Structure 1
């Protein structure tokens, strides 16, 4: 193994804080022994902090309308080929009740940034879903006002997922017209102040991204002190300006996940649907290098294929029961078990919520 890589890995093994250059050295792990040792250490750190239980967080994608025009996302407002939908509240509640029957510890209410919903309407959805079962609720509806964030928290949202996408401010605005990284981080700060368990994260393999940028992504997640970090590969969508771009690299995605686990030992890290889309065994690989969460799609069948952030999403052609069976089998295959708890953050400040 290379000297710089070995020194960085040895420091990571002690739990000491890694520098930017050490993170870059680890992200540059070469195929073979270096990658194997990186993944092995990340898996050990995951086991130390979270054991072998995997938290299932069921996603209900209740609207695919979006006011944004992000170059990488199939939900972008300029996409006129997509069939738009909003799931009626009664169907959302029915889906949440089904999730409760399956024993899910968390429901994720996700949508595009849909201005159709007021803060009060989003709060009411959360309030009614909370009554459907004994689970935590994660909201993922994009940037809203501080007042809307507060309403959702008061209605029973425990967590909020707002990915920063890329820590490069120029690339952020280039790929997300009329938005800024500064504003995004400000909104994440509001969520922290309001007492949410906060999730963020980035896309690996965006055009124009570098390994140095990925190091900045991980450093930003550390600075934000997030409770969850979604790190998934870029998957090009044929109805976006990035249709001809190369997808994110599987190896680099796994290395980013592994390094994130070393830098963020108490942060929940999902084996993302995107990595399962990139490679049939992607989720299994992610679980082997730091991941401890899977987020199955529980949306009713008639809507599942219409929520196309990227095409051919893993599990999009399955019904919720089939998805659950496959994930249960996957976890058995890799020697992991399904958690029966809510999967709250292990950080001291959230212990009174359990």
Structure 2
């Protein structure tokens, strides 16, 4: 699976760093997190008490709330910035260890799969960094429904729990009607296959990532049976957003769509690119606050990997060439990007609580074990690609995208192995809803 990112020898070497690393005992963890406590002004016992609450060990009469509450909800912006910038290896090791322990507490050390079907690369948007932007000359496709239904059957048979339908943005009435029908067919087909819940079959959870739409269209998709929606803000900085997009792509419009999705009732996913040209640490801290304020249930963050032939990617490439970047420089830069991205994962886990955090595929484009590393630093979701092989090369959002030459079965087996390598357990046949979503719903109902 990592063939496009590294040789088999490189992969074997890197796996030694993550192979089946067990969770730390509380005694060892307490020693490990001491530097984090020093940064935050907390005692080790305070940090460990919050971990016990996340496990539901204390306050047994209010376990649901305790298991979803963020353990570091009051961390300051200055403390976040310090943890993103620090070169103290003891502090970063403490951050990662604590995030791993908290994630294991929220999700019982389990990892959930989301099968991604990239069903169309037709896109009316022209985002400056994206490989399927409108101006890019490539073969455009839309998968026929019967092939998408085959993918849904595969996900159901493999116990993925969720199918993610992803495409470029096309907000025509015909596309919305088509999606409504498709969602209904997926739900009907997979409910008939649901032997785990014979009395009340659930089938697959349907998640969507199809761009900015009107609220009425979102409602139609929700009522058709979709439960989750991913719409990445890409950056919480409106000025930086404007630099990455054409003038008719408005940051405020994206925010309004996110709010509409919450009103409709979707489990809301959003996220950002990390390491963008012009992005600052202050921007990343603001991103974390944006996720909290928009009340996101899933946080999809990945490193910025440039795509040649796009305005942002070509400008980035020219800067690298002018700087005389060597292959060694590139490897070191990739390592820094993985490190920064996973610091954001760890902070999101501690600051936002029991939200879902995928270990994004883009990490593997930079490091053959990038996703395993993320699973040990706060992430709890993997998203195997289910798109039929013949379409994958036409859905490259960024350079060196992994897995474009492999089939769904190969990706499934490979990722299952990676979960074990990371010392985690694979949760099969479950939707894997984030506890944060259900706790927020209960607060709304009782508040």
What TM-score comes out, normalization by structure 1 length?
A: 0.94
Shift in Å, 1:4 = 9.4
Shift in Å, 1:2 = 12
Partner of 2:127: 70
- Give 3-state SS (helix, strand or coil) of 1:6's partner: helix
Check conservation: 1:199, 1:230, Cα contact below 8 A: yes
Check conservation: 1:9, 1:38, Cα contact below 8 A: no
Between the aligned partners of 2:425 and 2:36, the Cα distance in structure 1 is: 36
Shift in Å, 1:212 = 0.4
Between the aligned partners of 2:440 and 2:184, the Cα distance in structure 1 is: 24
Larger displacement relative to structure 2 (252-261 or 291-300):
252-261
Aligned 1:160-171 pairs, distance under 5 A: 160-171=229-240
**Structure 1, residues 290-344: CA drift from partner, whole Å, max 9, x if none?**
0000001000111012101112212222100000010011111122111121111
- Give 3-state SS (helix, strand or coil) of 2:435's partner: coil
Choose from 88, 93, 102 the match for 1:36: 93
Computing the radius of gyration over CA atoms, which structure comes out larger, 1 or 2? 2
- Give 3-state SS (helix, strand or coil) of 1:269's partner: coil
Partner of 1:19: 76
Partner of 1:100: 156
- Give 3-state SS (helix, strand or coil) of 1:61's partner: strand
Partner of 1:84: 140
**In the alignment, is residue 59 of structure 1 matched against residue 147 of structure 2?**
no
**Structure 1, residues 168-227: CA drift from partner, whole Å, max 9, x if none?**
101112201121221111110011011110000000011110000000011100111111
Partner of 2:243: 174
Check conservation: 1:63, 1:114, Cα contact below 8 A: no
- Give 3-state SS (helix, strand or coil) of 1:60's partner: strand
Partner of 2:408: 320
Larger displacement relative to structure 2 (226-235 or 176-185):
176-185
Shift in Å, 1:136 = 0.7
- Give 3-state SS (helix, strand or coil) of 1:108's partner: strand
Choose from 356, 366, 372 the match for 1:278: 366
Q: CA RMSD in A?
A: 2.0
Unaligned runs of 5+ in 2: 1-32, 51-70, 191-202, 321-332, 443-447
Choose from 200, 213, 224 the match for 1:144: 213
Shift in Å, 1:349 = 4.4
Aligned residue pairs, count: 350
Partner of 1:303: 391
- Give 3-state SS (helix, strand or coil) of 1:291's partner: coil
What TM-score comes out, normalization by structure 2 length?
A: 0.75
Partner of 2:356: 268
Check conservation: 2:127, 2:244, Cα contact below 8 A: yes
- Give 3-state SS (helix, strand or coil) of 2:312's partner: coil
Check conservation: 1:4, 1:25, Cα contact below 8 A: no
Shift in Å, 1:345 = 2.0
- Give 3-state SS (helix, strand or coil) of 1:307's partner: coil
Aligned 1:93-242 pairs, distance under 5 A: 93-115=149-171, 117-133=174-190, 134-177=203-246, 178-242=248-312
**In the alignment, is residue 7 of structure 1 matched against residue 96 of structure 2?**
no
Between the aligned partners of 1:91 and 1:344, the Cα distance in structure 2 is: 26
Between the aligned partners of 1:164 and 1:61, the Cα distance in structure 2 is: 20
Between the aligned partners of 2:401 and 2:308, the Cα distance in structure 1 is: 13
**Structure 1, residues 28-65: CA drift from partner, whole Å, max 9, x if none?**
23252111111011111101111211000000000001
